[in-house]
Structure 1
Amino acid sequence: MKRRQFIRTAALGTAATGLAAPLYAQGNRTLTMVSTWGRGLAGVDDSATFAADRITAMTDGQLTVDYRAAGELVGAFESFDAVTAGQADMYHAADYYFSGQHPAFPFFATVPFGMTAQELNNWYYHGDGHELHNELASIFGLKSFLAGNTGPQSGGWFNKEINAPEDFRGLRFRMPGQGAEVLGKLGASVQNLPGGEVYQALSSGAIDGTEWIGPWADEAAGFQEIADYYYTAGFHEPGPALTLAVNLETFESLTPGQQAVIEQTAMAGNMYTLSLFMKNNAAALGRLQTQGVQILSFPDAVWDAFGSASQEVLEQYRDDPLYAKILDSYQASMRDSAAWIETSERAYATQRDRILGI
């Protein structure tokens, strides 16, 4: 969609919701943050709240961030349009939710068989990642920063075991991003539901299975109450980032110091959120097991099917020059990082765990 047409359409859509422009009072500014997260969703809502609170505190109230969770001002998947149209000032989200705007957005969240959190940070902060993120974001009038990471996400909750690729045929499954396209190639009927709607869809039978995040957030969501089988390793989100994106005109109207606060808050939020999830997942997994959840791993044949379909999905948009540019940069950085991590950190962890019996 052309930029001018997109802005006009988005503005009309958000105008109908009765949103007001940002408020200014006594030299201070109130910036509205919307998100894709329902209020109270473990980890992700915490991450958005962290960003809003820190920006407000670090600017001594010169910038007051009014955080509105999904559904409080706009719907979860309307946050992108609201910020692009200037009806809200910033969003906190996973950018793969916006692949319909451009297929390259998932690289700044996660892609199938993609980077771990550490590998993504290497590319983003010390490679081309941040520059490419903003090259893409600027098309839509945004200034974007990574602002969180959940760490590796689980393969999902099912009401039956997955023993072969054929078991995905006809399965109604909730998954966002390019991972959804992969399962679609395996015959699944995939839906992209906001996090706040997943429990109801699974409990009502509207879907047969779902992925969400990992043991801590999944336990808080209550999926163990309605699904018996939990696959703890997934192909689709090995280290998904969260984004804090600011309307570009709003960002450029801020002082250099205020801009720096937003950038540094996002960077701090990236580490804060990753640590939050990684700290809580192990204990939550133990609790799930005591509640009778069967913890499983996909068989190799299923992993192979995931891999083949993932390559097809990743390559299908290569005719878009910007997508191809981002894909090539992403994969080159991933290869470089993996070569070192494999011979250092992974080798050490294997020996440590063997010697200590972990």
Structure 2
Amino acid sequence: MDRREFLKKAGVGTASGAAVALAAPAVHAQTTREMMIVSSWPRDFPGPGTGSQRLAERIEKLSEGRLAVKYFAAGERVGAFDVFDEVASGNAQAYTSADYYWKGKQPGFAYFTSVPFGLTYAEMDSWMKFGGGQQLWDELSDEYGIKPFASGNTGAQMAGWFNKEVNSIDDLNGLKMRIPGLGGDIMSKLGVAPVSLPASQSYEALVSGAIDAAEWIGPWNDYFLKYYEVAKYYYYPGMHEAASQLSMGVNKSWFMDLPEIDREIIEASCMIENAMTMAEFNHKSGIYLDKLINEHGVKVRGYSEEIIDAIGEAADEVFATTVEHSDLTRRIHESFVKARGELGRWMVLSDAGYTQQRNRVLGITA
């Protein structure tokens, strides 16, 4: 057999082998499953909304259409705070939201978004992946038939918008403020009346006087909600939310019935979006902070140490009550506190230590 004849026969054999190898996936690809995603975020809302839409598109693309995704923003199918029950009941396959909205069901959910004096994005990511956080979240969500995934993060948040200066605890007393989660419980101990509202309703509530203050996320998102039109004082730091982890909750029964490759695609898509959203927040928050200050006259103020210390004391009281809910809640809290101590000590030397000295040398200030 000469070389030309050998290559010809080899080519035929290779092509035949490829056809056989591709036959099974090609048949599998014809099986499609509807994946209805309901969201707590308004359509096209910068950050949580656009990130959720991007996540939905990525899942369908990577699955090559096996997962036929239908995405519904807040209010398009169910209300912003109804998405958990919609998925737990099986009426939809997944939600995108922030799990501290479900603390009324079980206070442990708050730890998987953010709690006062909580974890930064880097710390949260480490706890979730290597400190046991994901396993505890799985255990908690399993009680409701949900498989949870981290699918975004806002990073460190601002403390909120106020229609007057807040210099002391007395200035907080009696204020009605849009603030959810354990942060709302803590602010109530300082005399604030916490109100839980979807972001889309908080601006109107400020205009009408139904609330006196509101926290949302940070400069990028807050700019588009136009808080600056009704409240000129913008406070930091957001001790109530050091870095809020966003989530995708998937109906577990539906999820486990998927082929392994599609389960992996959903998980990988969430991991990608978790990093993408955080990078986008960091990139755009500085840009929009400049716009708020220079174009709209927003006055950035820092909470006094008196207020921060009071928030810390109130946090201890709230945590002491929270852990009494159940053994699982206590285990979540203890794991969280352990991670905060270990990671926090390292962050003092690493990220925090470096940026503090870098900014001092370069004269970078808020």
* 1:1-358 equivalences in 2 (<5 Å): 27-290=31-294, 291-319=296-324, 320-358=326-364
Report deviation, 1:27: 2.4
C-alpha contact (below 8 Å) 2:40/2:96 kept by paired residues = yes
1:280-304 residue CA offsets vs partner (Å, 9 max, x unmatched): 0011111111111111001110111
In 2, distance between residues paired with 1:60 and 1:327? 40
Normalised to the residue count of structure 2, the TM-score between the two structures is 0.90
1:11-54 residue CA offsets vs partner (Å, 9 max, x unmatched): xxxxxxxxxxxxxx962111100111111221010111121000
In 1, distance between residues paired with 2:83 and 2:306? 38
Determine what percentage of the aligned residue pairs are the same residue.
Answer: 40
Q: What amino acid maps onto 1:110 in structure 2?
A: S
Which runs of no fewer than 5 residues in structure 1 stay unpaired? 1-24
C-alpha contact (below 8 Å) 2:30/2:66 kept by paired residues = no
RMSD: 1.1
In 1, distance between residues paired with 2:81 and 2:123? 27
C-alpha contact (below 8 Å) 1:31/1:90 kept by paired residues = yes
> Residue 6 of structure 2 aligns with which residue?
none
Q: What amino acid maps onto 1:336 in structure 2?
A: E
SS of the residue corresponding to residue 322 of structure 2 reads: coil
Q: What amino acid maps onto 1:300 in structure 2?
A: E
In 2, distance between residues paired with 1:344 and 1:147? 25
SS of the residue corresponding to residue 72 of structure 1 reads: coil
In 2, distance between residues paired with 1:315 and 1:35? 32
Report deviation, 1:256: 0.3
Q: What amino acid maps onto 1:245 in structure 2?
A: G
Report deviation, 1:343: 1.3
Larger radius of gyration: 2
Q: What amino acid maps onto 1:50 in structure 2?
A: R
- State the aligned residue count: 334
SS of the residue corresponding to residue 70 of structure 1 reads: coil
Report deviation, 1:163: 1.1
1:257-309 residue CA offsets vs partner (Å, 9 max, x unmatched): 00000111111111001011110001111111111111100111011111100
